[in-house]
Structure 1
Amino acid sequence: MPNVLVLSFEGFSFSSRQLYEQLLPKLLSRAAIHESLTIQDAMNYILSGWPNVILVTDSVIAEESEESQRLLETVAEYTKHHSCTTILMGFLIAAIETETLNYIFKHHFDLKWKVLPEEPTTHAAKIYASDLSLLRTTTLVPKLVANAAWLTGVPPSQATYIGPTEEGMVYAAFTRVGLGKLGYIGDTGFGDEPERLVLAMCHLDRSEDHVRHEEDLEK
């Protein structure tokens, strides 16, 4: 059973289901979950080698304090060297400064991803995942309309959902970084679609989550 570490420091509890209503019950039935409410607790769990998955749900990890910066460096190094999957999601996306997130992508994960500078906007997106060994798509909705902080500069092989193609906009991305993986979910609505995506990125999706795609419905 995978070990999932949830980082949620900013005065709310992931376990209170303020973010995703159905995600926690599904995670609890499929993995061992620990929610860190303090940076020191998170450091203890990471340095012990416990997590297989880290969900970063708020922006405390990106603050300028020495403690936050040490945690960010630890998460990045652990992800790259311990086959860990780290997902940037939730209130982190709504609260973090664009330039700060771009810096994290470039300097901590050697990625060219960039967040579009405008406020989160609503667009349609569709599945574009091409590496099925990295991410299964059978439990994901084929199309969605989402309010999100959209990425640009994402190579096609790293895109999971793409928005308007003429803008090169990406709603979610997932790629290998060293021995681990990094995921980004730009959604700021915290509904069913990103819940499914979190489970898929964690490889905790199951057959009962299967979504019938449009081609199935036409048969």
Structure 2
Amino acid sequence: MPSILILSLYGFSFSSRQLYQHLLPTLLSKANVHESITIEDAQNYISTGWPSIILVTDPAITFEEEENQLLLETLVRWTKNGGKTILMGFFASTVEWPSLDTLFNAYFGLPWRANRYESNDILLVKNLNGLRSRTLFSTFYNKALWLENVAVEHAVYTTKAPLTLAYAAYAPVDFGWLGYIGDVGFAEEPEHLILAMCHLDGAEI
């Protein structure tokens, strides 16, 4: 059974709000789950090697304070050594765009960049890299912080051509994986995507 660490460091407990209707009960039924609401607790759990998946629900890891930066460095090392980190929940709606670009470019070595907040038709990529598509919606309409410079093999959902932007992305970083979900709401579609990125969508990858 996988172990999931939820980082809720922005001043509230993400899990207690249960903003996604089915997400927390599903996680609890399929994984060991712990939520850290302090940086010290998060550092302790990551340093023990306990989690196999980390859900980042807010942008605290991008803050400039020393303890936040130290946690980010720990998270990056953990991810590159084989962990799965997923940026979700309130992350996209509250992160500063320059900080997000720095996170992707300087820390994870990915060329992804924030492009725009926009409501748009969202299309599932046909050949997903590292994910199953069977539980994912093929198309829907929603508002998100869209990314540019996402390689086609790393995109999960995109807009229509000619300007192709990514609503969600999932890419290998060394021995681990980084997932991003740009959704700024809490509908059923991103909930399914979070579970798929955790590989808890009911089937082995």
TM range (shorter): over 0.9
* Whole-Å separation in 2 of the counterparts to 1:101 and 1:74: 17
Q: Kindly indicate whether the alpha-carbon contact (under 8 Å) linking 1:5 and 1:51 is maintained by their aligned counterparts in 2.
A: yes
Residue type of the partner of 2:147? L
2:183 is matched with which residue: 174, 182, 187? 187
* Whole-Å separation in 2 of the counterparts to 1:163 and 1:8: 30
What residue in structure 1 maps to residue 121 of structure 2? 124
Structure 2 SS opposite 1:68: helix
* Whole-Å separation in 2 of the counterparts to 1:151 and 1:50: 31
Residue type of the partner of 1:63? F
* Whole-Å separation in 1 of the counterparts to 2:64 and 2:119: 30
Q: Unaligned stretches of 5+ in structure 1?
A: 208-219
Cα offset, 1:15, TM superposition? 2.1
Q: Kindly indicate whether the alpha-carbon contact (under 8 Å) linking 2:128 and 2:156 is maintained by their aligned counterparts in 1.
A: no
Q: Unaligned stretches of 5+ in structure 2?
A: none
Count residues with an aligned counterpart: 203
Over aligned residue pairs, what C-alpha RMSD do you find? Answer: 1.2
Cα offset, 1:21, TM superposition? 2.3
Q: Kindly indicate whether the alpha-carbon contact (under 8 Å) linking 2:60 and 2:68 is maintained by their aligned counterparts in 1.
A: yes
Question: Are 2:60 and 1:63 equivalent residues in the alignment?
Answer: no
Question: Deviations for 1:75-103, whole angstroms, at most 9, x for unmatched residues?
Answer: 0110001x110001111111111111011
Q: Kindly indicate whether the alpha-carbon contact (under 8 Å) linking 2:39 and 2:71 is maintained by their aligned counterparts in 1.
A: yes
What residue in structure 2 maps to residue 16 of structure 1? 16
More helix by percentage: 1
What residue in structure 2 maps to residue 90 of structure 1? 89
Question: Deviations for 1:132-166, whole angstroms, at most 9, x for unmatched residues?
Answer: 5x100000011011100001100100000011321
TM-score by length of 1: 0.90
More strand by percentage: 2
Question: Are 2:40 and 1:40 equivalent residues in the alignment?
Answer: yes
Larger Rg: 1
TM-score by length of 2: 0.96
Identity, % of aligned positions: 48
